[in-house]
Structure 1
Amino acid sequence: MPAPSLYLHLPGTAAEALEFYRDVFGGSVEQFTYAQFERTDGPGAAIAHGVLSGKVDLYVSDAGEHDEPFAARGLMVALLGAAEPTTLRTWFASLAEGGEVVEDLRTRPWGASDGQVRDRFGVLWLIGYEHGTDAAAQAASTAD
C-alpha cells in the first residue's frame, strides 16, 4: 500500500512553495495552472495542481474558490527515519529558514534524536532518526 501524501491548498503561494520544497528535499516539480486545466474556479495563472516527486513526495495547489486554504491545527508531518541523519539534519535546517524551530533537533532520553520545525508555509514537520542509522556509522560498525 502506498503511503499517504501531503496535499496543500495554499493562498496563492503554490509556485513559491514548490520551489522551496524542491530546494529542501530535491526531486522534480511539475505544475499546471487553472487555465491549463480549463478550470474557472481560480485565477488562470494560479497553480491548480503541482507535484514534487523525489525523496519526499507532496502535492500543492493555490486554493480555488471552493477550497479551504491550508491551516494546520493538530497536524504534523513526520519524517522519522525517512533519510540518513545527515540529510534529515539538513532538511530540518532548511525548513527552518523563514519558518520557526518549535523544538530543537536533539538527542532524546530514549536515545533517538528528533525535533519539530514549522516552515514558512505553516507546515509542522517532525524530523528524527535513530542513532547509528547513517551510512558512516553502519560502515564503521561492520568494519569492527
Structure 2
Amino acid sequence: MSIRLNPYLNFHGNAREALEFYHSVLGGSLDLMRYDSIPGMMGGDDEAEKIMHGQLETEDGLTIMAADYPASMAEAPDASTGGNSISVSGDDAARIRAAWQGLAAGADIVEPFERAPWGDTFGMLRDRFGVPWMFSLAPQPEEADAG
C-alpha cells in the first residue's frame, strides 16, 4: 500500500504552458488530457483545447497535477492567487539547485536561494505563472562540518 500527497494547480487557460514548463525544468513524464477527450464533460466547444487534467511525474517522486478552469468558473481563484506554495526540499543539492535555477527563469524572486539562519539553503519565488514555490536544501556534509 502507498499514499501520496501532491499539489493540484488550477489555471485560467494556461495549464498546458505551465505543465510543459515544469516538465522542461523537472523532467519526468507528462500526460495531458484535454476537455474534448470526453465530450460534454467540461466547458463549451470553444474550450476543447483546455486541459481537463495534466500530470507530471518525475523519476525521483515529484508529482504535480493541474487543470484549466472552464469559462463558467472564471471567478474561481487560481494557482497564482496565493495562500499556498509548492515546497521542494531534501538533500540532493544538484537536483534542488537545478530546479531552483530552472523555475527562477522569468520568476519573481521573493527570497534568494541562500544559506538561512537555521542552516538550510532556502529560497522562495513566484514562477512566471504566479505560482509560489519554496526550496529548502539541507546542509551538505562539508557545510555542516564547517558550521
TM-score (norm 1): 0.83
For the pair 1:78 / 2:79, whether they are aligned, the reply is: no
CA distance in 1, matches of 2:81, 2:28: 24
> Which runs of at least 4 in structure 1 moved beyond 6 Å after TM superposition?
none
What does residue 102 of structure 1 align with? 110
CA distance in 1, matches of 2:112, 2:86: 16
Task: Give the counterpart of 2:54 among 50, 56, 62.
Answer: 50
Structure 1 contact 37–48 (Cα < 8 Å) conserved: no
TM-score (norm 2): 0.81
Give the gaps of 5 or more residues in structure 1. Answer: none
Secondary structure of the structure 2 residue equivalent to 1:12: coil
For this pair of structures, how many residues does the alignment match?
A: 134
Shift of 1:5: 1.3
Structure 2 contact 8–64 (Cα < 8 Å) conserved: yes
Shift of 1:70: 2.7
CA distance in 2, matches of 1:16, 1:23: 11
CA distance in 2, matches of 1:5, 1:91: 17
Shift of 1:97: 0.7
Structure 2 contact 80–129 (Cα < 8 Å) conserved: no
Structure 1 contact 112–129 (Cα < 8 Å) conserved: yes
What does residue 23 of structure 2 align with? 22
Of all paired residues, the percent bearing the same amino acid is: 30
RMSD: 2.0
Q: Summarize the alignment of residues 1-144 of structure 1 with structure 2, pairs less than 5 Å apart.
A: 2-38=3-39, 39-42=41-44, 43-54=47-58, 55=60, 56-64=62-70, 65-66=72-73, 68=76, 69-81=78-90, 84-132=92-140
